[in-house]
Every structure is written in C-alpha cells, then in structure tokens.
Structure 1
Amino acid sequence: MNRNGKELGFSLKEICLKVIADHIDEWFCSSISELTLKNSMYVLGPFECLDSESTQQLINLLSMKKKLKVMHLHLLLHSRLEAIDFTVPCAFMNDIFIKKLEYRCPKLIRISLKNCSKVTAKAIKCLAEAFNALQYLDLSNCYMACKDDVLSCIGNNCAQLRQLILDGCSMITDTGIKNFCQCYAKANRDRKLLRKLSLVNTQITDAGLREVLQTFRLLSTLSVSGCRDIVDPFCSFIPQKKLFSLSILDLSNTGINDISVDHITTLCPGLHDINISNCDNVTDVTITTINSISGVRSFSIAGCHLITFTIGIIPLLYNHGYQLETLNLSGMDNIDLAAIWHLCPRLKVLIMESCKDICQTPTYGIDTNQSRHLHLQKLNLKDSTFYQGEADIDESRSDCLKFIKKFCGNTLKYLYWSRMEGITDSLICDFLNEDCFKSLTYLELRYCHNITSDSLEQILQCCPSLQQLDIRFCQQISTANNEELKSYADEINHNVTILWE
C-alpha cells in the first residue's frame, strides 16, 4: 500500500521484474561487451529460468523505461522461449537477430515481427524453414520483406500454423495467397489447422479470398479490412450450400454491398463478430440479412452513411441487443440512447464517434426512469453533438450526459470526450462526481477548449484509478496549469500520466 492506504496492485513477480529492469546493466552487463554477445552463438544465463511471458514483460519494461539495448536482447534470447514478440524492440530487429533465433530459441512456436521493417525476405524464409512447428506468425508491416514468394515458403514449411497475420504487407497479391494455400494444403493434406488469417491492406481480391475460403473451411477469424477489391467473395459458394466456420469477420473498408452480405450470412451462420465499417455500398437492407443469423455479440458499422438508426439499427437491437457486447455506430446521426440502454443490457463497448444529434427520447415503449445500470467498460463520444427537440442545446447535452450515467454502473474504464461539443468545467465535474467512475483508468479530453485547470483536480479526486489523462490541445490549460496538476497528483500520491502540449 502507499501512504494513503491505496493498493498498489503489483505482484511479487512484477516487482522482481521492475527491479531487474532498473539494474540490468550493472548486474548483468557490466562485465561483458555487446560485441561479445553479438558474436556468441549461445548465451547461457542469467535469464534461462524466465518463461516466455516473463521475458516479454522484461523487454517491454525496459522499452517503457527507455533503457532497452541490443545487448539486453542478446541476453534474453534463451533456449526455453516458446513465444517472442519483437513489436516493441522492432528498431533493433534485423537478419542477424533472426539468424540467432534459429539456434538460440529452437522451441519457439509463436513469433511476432510486427513493424520489423529491417528484416529481409531471405531472413523470413530462413525463419519459416527453421521453425516448422510454428503456430503463430505475425509479419504485419514487413511490407518490403513479405512478398508472394515468402508466402510459398511459409506454406511449405509451417504445417502447424494456426494464426497468420499479414496486415500492411501491401505487396502481397492473389498469386502469393494462392501459392500459400496450395503449399499449405499439400504440406498438411487433410490437416488444415489454420484458424486465423489477417490480410489487412493487402492487394488481395475476390479471387484470392475464394482460394482461402476453399482451402481453409474451418477458418474462424478472417480480416480483409482495407482490401477495396473485395466485393462478393462468397458468391461462388452459394450453389454448393457448404457452410463455413467463420465466427469473426472484418470486411471494413471493402467494396461489399447488400447482396454480398446476404451471401455471407447465408454461408456463415455462426458469425458473432461482424465489422462492415466504411463500406459505402451497404444499406438498411444489410441489417435485415444480418438479423437472420443468431448470436451476434459485436457489430461495427462506423461510417456506413446509408444505414439509419431508426430503420436499420432499431430492428437489429431488437434481434441481437440482449447479447450484444460491442456496438460501433460512429458517424451515424440521430442515435437514440434510450433505445440502446433498453435493448442492450450486456453492452460493454459503445463507440459513437462523430455522431450528430444524439438524443435520449423515451420512445419504443421504453421507461427511462428505471434505475437499472449497464456495465459499460468503454465509451467513445469524440466529436459528437446532442439534440433534444426544441430544448436548449446546453440543457439537451446535460440531459443526455446524465442519462449516459445509466450505461456506466461502476465498470467504466475508458472514456473519450475529445472535441465533444460544449464540454465545460461544471459539466465535467457534475458528470464525474459519481461512484460509477471510480474504476476509470483512461480519460481523453483533447481539443476541449472550454475546460480550465479548475476541473482537473476534481477529475483526479473523482477518479482514483485514473492512469492516463489526455488534455492535449486544450487552449485554456497552460504550462503552469500542467505543472500544478502534476504536483497535485504527486501530493495526493496519484500515479497518473498526464499528456499535455
């Protein structure tokens, strides 16, 4: 506990890792040079006893403290590792490190090289050949190295692969995907283990995706967000009436339309997570077809301007609202908070960014006077406005925000209010002065030009669990105000990160 009796919440393991991170240079690196480590084939100790999770936590801690060095990574690559994520130290990753993985970490089955842009295609091919028991591989944003021929090598050698992430690998085309499918199928024969494939922002088209669907009938998670040439990949399977096992499907920013969504819902009855955000060709008709499947728990239609709340969303909520946990309606106008509150009792994430004229009209036979609270964990109202008929706009906003408290219970952790119209000190203090915000860990108030330093101390008092407060670009918060707030946080022993500029 700290001096105010507040639980710090660190486990013994976390404390030990923090101490190691603080003293790693003087304890473990003072008697050995980086060149020696670089040229050594094997390094025995002192971290052989650490499991994969602890090793990863130590790497992330060193990075967070801005202490991570190349020699630390050389020390931490040991033979017991089964998983490693190089996303954080991606700037250090090159072909030399990949080569060292081959003989230092023979048990690896999960590797992430996300954002490791210095790694070449040759190194990735060597990695695929060396780790043929690999189950998880993330090559996101390795856009110069991850090309079509690399996928053939992965398909030939990684027969146990269950998850393949290729987001941002913009040089991947249908040719590479088809080669991967054929090589993987040949290597596995009847044992097609791949369950998750992500091809965000690649060059894949309907033809390539059909090859994926034909090869991996048991695929459960598929993401092709940003692939604008995806229009109707499921149409050719309609005559066969063979069902797919997909449960999570991300088609955001693609060219799909109402007809293609109808084909998807016909062939994928087990879908529970659907993302069709920013698909310009889907209308309220799409919602009708989605209503034909059961079990939808997450639904995102951000930026779908041809879908309306009254005609499209209300029927969806009547059909799926009871089990819905995530709802993203960003960019939609005339959202009725009362309907969401009444029809979605299990909602955990509600995103209404850039929504205009949000209201809380007690329509649809809804009694808004009930004291029932939801258990929302994340609420995003960035750049949104409120409307309440002929009422004063400030009064409407205040009424809506008061009603939003009914969503929060005492579970809200993330609250986004950046650029939200009419946010003032009094409104913030009135809104946050409730027990339901005791669990809030992140509050974003960027570009809220009407708030002053008067409300910031109140925020810290009302939100004892707050870990990050983002007040960047708030015009009335000065450098002096920021320093005073940090001093006040130290005074009350509130360990919060304040973002300001």
Structure 2
Amino acid sequence: MPQRSSPATLKHLSIVSIATHMDNLWAADYIHNYLDQYNFWYIIGPFDTLPSHLIQELIEFLVQKRQLGRRHLHLMIHQHLESLHLGKCSSCMTDAIIKLVQIRCKKLKKLDLSRCNRLTSYAMSMALSYLPKLVYLNLYSTNCTDEVLGTIGAICVHLRDLNICKTHVTDKGIVSLCGGGDSVRGCRKLVSLDVSFSPKVTIKGVKHALRQLPNLRQLLHNDVCDALVALHEEAFKEGKTAPPYQLRSGTVNDFVVPVSFLEIVDLVCPYLEYIFVLNENLEGEVLHHISRLTRLRNLSVSCTDSVVPFSEGLVPLLNSVGHGLETLTLYGYDDIDVIAIGQSCPNLQTLTLESCRGFKLKHAQAATSTTLFGNLKSFRLGVEVISSTHDTAVPESLKIILEDSRQIENVEITNVDGFTDQLFRHVLSHNSFARLREFALIDCNNVTGASIFELLEGKNRLQRLVLLNCKEVMRRDYDMMMKTVASQHFQLEITWT
C-alpha cells in the first residue's frame, strides 16, 4: 500500500519556524533600524553560519509561501556562500541585489540567475568580474550580452557549465567566451554550453565553439549537426582528418538530426550517448554508422511513414547498441515488437512508446520463459488510435512489459482500451509493484475502480495516482479512495476527472 505520512524532519521544521518568524524576529532589528537608511556592503547577520544548502532551502520555502523580499536577501547573502540559485526569486532580483553578491560572495562556485531579466547587462558584467571561482553559471532568459560573455571569458576561466539560452548574445560574444580571437584566455574548461534559442548565434559561432573548447561534452544549438558536417568537409578539402569531438548529444530539444550528419556520425562524434533519428533513415550506410556508436545510452526514433519496417530497421540497430541503452523512445510505430526490445535491451530503464498505432509479437511463447524488462523504472505508452477489443497484441504486450518489471517506479498508459480489469489483476498477481511511485491512466475506458483499489491495497510506495477520463472510474470510486487516504494517513495525491 502507499506510504503513510511521516513526521517532518527537524531540519524542515526549523526552516518553517525561521520563515514564519522572519520579519518579527530574525530580521526585525535590521528592518526597523537600518533598512533603506544606510547602504551596508557587509552585515554580520543571523544567517552567516548557515551553509549554502540551508540558505537555499530557506529562500525556496519563502518563495513558495510568497513571503520572500529583498530585505531577506540582504541578510541571507553572506560571504561564506559557495552556491546560490536565485532563479526562483527573479522578481526580487535587482542591480542592487547582484551588487551584494558581487561584494560579499567571493567564494561562490555556482550561481543561477535564470529568468532574472530585471538585471541589467552592466550589473551582471560587473558582478561576474568579481567571481573568478565560478564553475556553474545559469543566465537563461536574462539580459546577457556579448559584453557579459567577454567578462566571463576573461575572468571565469574555471567555468565548466554555462547556460545562455534565450539571450541576446551573438557570434562575437561566443568568440570572446571561448577565446581564439582577440580574447587572451577564454573558458577553455567548458564541458556544457547551452546557446539554444539565441537567434543571433549562427553556425559560424557554433563552429568556433567546437574548435576552441576541447572538453565540450554538450553543446546545445540548432546548428550543431550542420556545424559538425561543415567542419568535417573543410578538413576533407584540406586533406586532413577532422578530430573526433567529445560531444555526448547529437541533437537539441528533440530535433531530428539530418542525414548528412548521420553519414559521418561515428567519425565526428564516436562518444554520442543520445541521438534522435527518423525511422526512414535506418537503412544502408546510415544504419551502419549509427550501429557503431558503442556508447549510446539514449535513443529516440520517430516513424512518420512506415518506409522501413520495425523488424528491418530498428531491430538490427537494437541488436548492435541495445545492450548499452538505458532510455528508448519510439514515436508513431505501427508494428512494435516488445519482445525484440526486451531481448535486445536488457539494461533498459526508461521505455516510452508514444503515438503508437499497433504491435506485433513474434515468438511470444518462447519469451515467457525469460525475464524481460527486469531493470525498467519508467514506462509510458500512448496509443494514437483506440485499439480494437479483438486486437490481442496490445494487452499481451502490456503483460510482457509489466509482469517482470520489478523495479518499475513510474507508469503512464494513455488511450488503451485493451487495458482491462482482468489484465490489471493478472499483472498485479505477478508483480506487486513494490517500488511504484506514480501510476497514471488516461482515457482507458475498460478499467474500473475495483482494480484500482487492489493497487492501493498492494505493497508499493505509491505517491501519485492519476485517473483522467477513464469512464468506468466513477465519482464514488474517487470519494472512497480519498476517504481511504485520509483514514490510513497515506502520503498519496490522487487526480481524477
């Protein structure tokens, strides 16, 4: 059964107590006697001995309760902080507050200013010029400009992770950041750079970043694949061999990679761990090149047209790289064989079958003698067309996936009429879902509240139950579930419509 509510920890109770009495006790003296009367760059306050993670928890709790004010940040930003995430309190962030960070936080290693768009580029640039120890910086959706990147490239030379997504930077700023132009140093230690949705950064800037940052593992921009192809072609024309890049991702924001990149993928990016491809490209030389990515951990394949059947395109690829896969996402297939997936991908932890149109099972009897999906932790199934009640492939596929998934934590099933009470009870008799935390049924019209109650009575760790538009789960079922949660003190959130 779901976990029962447990007493709050002493740490949490302390955070709640401090937040509750913030203005009338902890910050009272400062508010009454000094606020708006003097400009203090240094204050010995009540929070100076709190480490970074406790300051962060206190800030986030005050934000959650909508109680955080600039007066609180005046006291909580102190000289011993090594980490400060201010993205959730962007409404309080002004040039005066970032000035406090600049003056006080000399030891800061991690700084998050995401969505703090009230900060001027000048104030950000000045603050960063005093923070040379930064290794993580998030400037997502801020007023970051080329001048700010110039400061970062000159001062924050130990930076490893930078997010400048949705900013005003250009290719000139990328050159200042990475070095190699007029810049003397540059952030050569960068491992992750997110410059996606920054329209003024072109393929020229992306190519410069790839050339100058030898440790880069992640570069997020829509032109990354085209830039890699261009660099490969330039090296070929010069009679040279382009060095293999260290990138781990071959796409950004689930954009499908072009065929021109797939044709050289194993040469330019042999260490790829994630890639999103079209099913129609899984043949010939392209399939051969993708199959050589021995470090692939996350594979997404979209099937817009069934040009290459599942068995002829995806199965050979899974036979080559499936043993290392931890995440597999398939879109739009109409001939999925879950047995082939389970046999080829024994270490799979996340399986998503989205907008599926059908399943096919081969050698289903032989598969029952072997354990499939033993390491699966998350499973999501979405059927585009409601399956016929005579189509046995869908419920049989669900049985195969769910029966032996002893490690499963999250399940979401959408638009599957083949998911019935009988099927659910059969699965529960074989698998108690001991680690289950989230379970969601959406538009599944042949399951009733009776079988859901059996899930609630089982030995699991359920924390969230979602039942949306399931016609046979009635209001009275929902009311009884809520009464059970209240009487048993379950720590369970139930959503029903």
TM-score over 0.5 (shorter chain) = yes
* Cα 1:64–1:435 shift into 2, 3 Å: farther
What is the letter of the counterpart of residue 405 of structure 2? C
Partner of 2:413: 417
Taking a change above 3 Å as real, the CA distance of residues 367 and 468 of structure 1, as seen in their structure-2 partners, is closer
Mark the CA change 1:22 to 1:302 in structure 2 (over 3 Å): closer, same or farther.
farther
The aligned counterpart of 1:401 is 398
Higher relative contact order (CA 8 A, sep 6+): 2
1:232 aligned counterpart, secondary structure: helix
C-alpha separation in 2, matches of 1:387 and 1:473: 17
2:483 corresponds to: 487
Q: Hey, what's the Cα distance between the residues in 1 that align with 2:220 and 2:111? A: 19
Q: Offset at 1:25?
A: 5.1
Of the structure 1 ranges 487-496 and 198-207, higher mean CA displacement relative to structure 2 is found in 198-207
Equivalent residue runs for 1:32-47 within 5 Å: 32-33=30-31, 36=34, 40-47=40-47
Paired with 2:67 and 2:475, the residues of 1 have a C-alpha distance of 28
- Given that residues 235 and 241 in structure 2 are in contact (C-alpha distance below 8 angstroms), is that contact kept between their aligned partners in structure 1? yes
Residue in 2 that maps onto 1:98:
98
Counterparts of 2:40 and 2:214, CA distance in 1:
45
Give 5+ residue unaligned stretches, structure 2.
none
Q: How does 1:44-443 map to 2 (within 5 A)?
A: 44-65=44-65, 67-142=67-142, 145-169=143-167, 171-182=168-179, 186-188=183-185, 192-203=188-199, 204-225=201-222, 232-235=229-232, 236-238=234-236, 239-251=240-252, 254=255, 256-271=257-272, 273-276=273-276, 282-285=281-284, 286-302=286-302, 308-362=309-363, 367-371=367-371, 373-383=373-383, 392-393=390-391, 395-406=392-403, 408-409=405-406, 411-424=407-420, 427-432=423-428, 435-443=431-439
Contact persistence 1:157–1:187 (CA under 8 A): no
Cα 1:12–1:233 shift into 2, 3 Å: farther
| In structure 1, C-alpha distance between the alignment counterparts of 2:480 and 2:32, rounded to whole Å | 43
Give TM-score scaled by structure 2 length: 0.84
C-alpha distance in structure 2 between counterparts of 1:444 and 1:494, whole Å? 18
**Aligned CA distance change for structure 1 residues 331 and 255 (closer, same or farther; 3 Å):** closer
In the alignment, the residues of structure 2 paired with residue 184 and residue 483 of structure 1 have an alpha-carbon distance, to the nearest angstrom, of 67
TM (normalized to structure 1)?
0.83
Report the identity percentage: 25
Distance 1:405 1:209 in 2: 44
Contact in 2 for aligned 1:302/1:330 (Cα 8 Å): yes
**What secondary structure, in the 3-state scheme, does the structure 1 residue paired with 2:331 have?**
coil
Higher deviation after alignment, 101-110 or 456-465: 456-465
Secondary structure of residue in 1 paired with 2:367: coil
Whether the aligned pair in 2 keeps the contact of 1:257 and 1:282 (CA below 8 Å) is no
Q: 1:130 & 1:376 partners in 2: Cα distance?
A: 47
Give yes or no for contact 2:331–2:353 (8 Å, CA) kept in 1. yes
Q: Which residue, 441, 444, 455 being the options, matches 1:445? A: 441
Distance 1:404 1:225 in 2: 35
Cα distance between partner residues in 1 of 2:281 and 2:488:
52
* Count of matched residue positions in the alignment of Structure 1 and Structure 2: 487
Match of 1:408, SS?
Answer: coil
User: Does structure 2 conserve the Cα–Cα contact (< 8 Å) formed by 1:229 and 1:254?
Assistant: no
Aligned ranges 1:3-18 → 2 under 5 Å: 8=6, 13-14=11-12, 16-17=14-15
Distance 2:86 2:371 in 1: 48
1:147 alignment partner AA = T
Deviation larger for 172-181 or 5-14: 5-14
Structure 1 unmatched ranges of 5 or more = none
* CA displacement at 1:137 relative to structure 2: 0.9
CA contact (8 A) 1:384 1:420 kept: no
1:276 is paired with a residue of what secondary structure?
strand
SS in 2 for 1:245: coil
Change (3 A) 1:93 1:312: farther
Cα-to-partner distance string for 1:407-440 (whole Å, 9 max, x where unaligned): 512x211222244455455544554565442211
Distance 2:302 2:13 in 1: 41
Which residue, out of 459, 462, 465, partners 1:466? 462
Q: Is the partner of 1:141 in helix, strand or coil?
A: coil
| RMSD (Å), alpha carbons | 3.7
Check 1:476–1:176 CA distance in 2 against 1; reply closer, same or farther (3 A cut).
Answer: farther
In 2, Cα distance between equivalents of 1:400 and 1:280? 21
**Which one is further off, 292-301 or 253-262?**
253-262
**Cα contact 2:52–2:82 (8 A) shared by 1:** yes
**Bigger CA drift: 340-349 or 237-246?**
237-246
Question: Do the aligned partners of 1:200 and 1:226 also contact (CA within 8 Å) in 2?
Answer: no
CA contact (8 A) 1:358 1:387 kept: no
- The CA deviation at 1:131 is 1.4
Q: Is the 8 A contact 1:141 1:166 kept in 2?
A: yes
Cα shift readout 1:99-145 (whole Å, capped 9, x = no counterpart) = 22112322111111223233332232223222122211111222xx1
Contact 2:225 2:258 in 1 (8 A): no
Larger radius of gyration: 2
In 1: Cα distance, 2:471 partner to 2:68 partner: 35
Q: Residue deviations 1:321-376, cap 9 Å, x none?
A: 1121111223333221001111111111111122221343328x963422455111
Alpha-carbon contact 1:338-1:366 (below 8 Å) kept: no
Question: Deviation digits for residues 457-484 of structure 1, max 9, x if unmatched?
Answer: 4443336422222335556667776554
* Pair 1:16–1:282, CA change in 2 (3 A): farther
Judge conservation of contact 2:378–2:410 (CA < 8 Å) in 1: yes
> Which residue identity lines up with residue 491 of structure 1 in the other structure?
S
- Give 1:47 deviation, angstroms: 2.1
Deviates more, 1:291-300 or 1:25-34: 25-34
Separation of aligned partners in 2, 1:372 and 1:256 = 30
